[in-house]
């Protein structure tokens, strides 16, 4: 879980200035609030919006893209879990 969160945090911050926010004085501060708010809720909200508008093909393309996007917490967790299971299955760990 810690490894997945570390991978997710790194790639989320590499997307742009999502972790460095300017406060009301214009000073840049390190803030992980967007990491938790948009990072976890954003993908679910996007899927629900697409599906509520009947955009099945767009939802499919979005899921296909997000399935390899390590800036998505669900993808990062899934990939780390898959690698862990693979290592356990092959008796490496």
Query: In this predicted structure, what is the pLDDT of residue 79?
Result: 92
Query: In this predicted structure, what is the pLDDT of residue 22?
Result: 79
The predicted model scores a pTM of 0.74
CB atoms within 10 A of CB 43: 19
- The parent domain of residue 78 ranges over 2-89
pLDDT in tens, the chain (93 residues): 888 888 888 888 887 757 777 788 888 888 777 777 878 888 999 999 999 999 999 999 999 998 888 888 899 999 999 999 999 999 887
Query: In this predicted structure, what is the pLDDT of residue 75?
Result: 92
Count up the domains in the chain and report the number: 1
* Cα distances (Å, whole numbers) of residue 32 to 14, 24, 91: 13, 17, 37
Using DSSP's 3-state secondary structure scheme, residue 87 falls into helix
Residue 83 to residue 78: CA distance in whole angstroms: 9
Query: In this predicted structure, what is the pLDDT of residue 17?
Result: 57
């Amino acid at each position: 879980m810690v490894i997945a969160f570390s991978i997710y945090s790194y790639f989320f911050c590499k997307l742009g200035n999502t972790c460095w926010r300017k406060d009301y004085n214009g000073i840049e501060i390190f803030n992980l609030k967007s990491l938790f708010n948009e990072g976890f809720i954003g993908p679910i909200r996007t899927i629900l919006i697409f599906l509520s508008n009947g955009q099945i093909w767009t939802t499919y393309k979005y899921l296909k893209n997000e399935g390899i996007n390590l800036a998505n917490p669900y993808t990062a967790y899934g990939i780390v879990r898959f690698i862990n299971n693979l290592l356990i299955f092959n008796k490496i760990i």
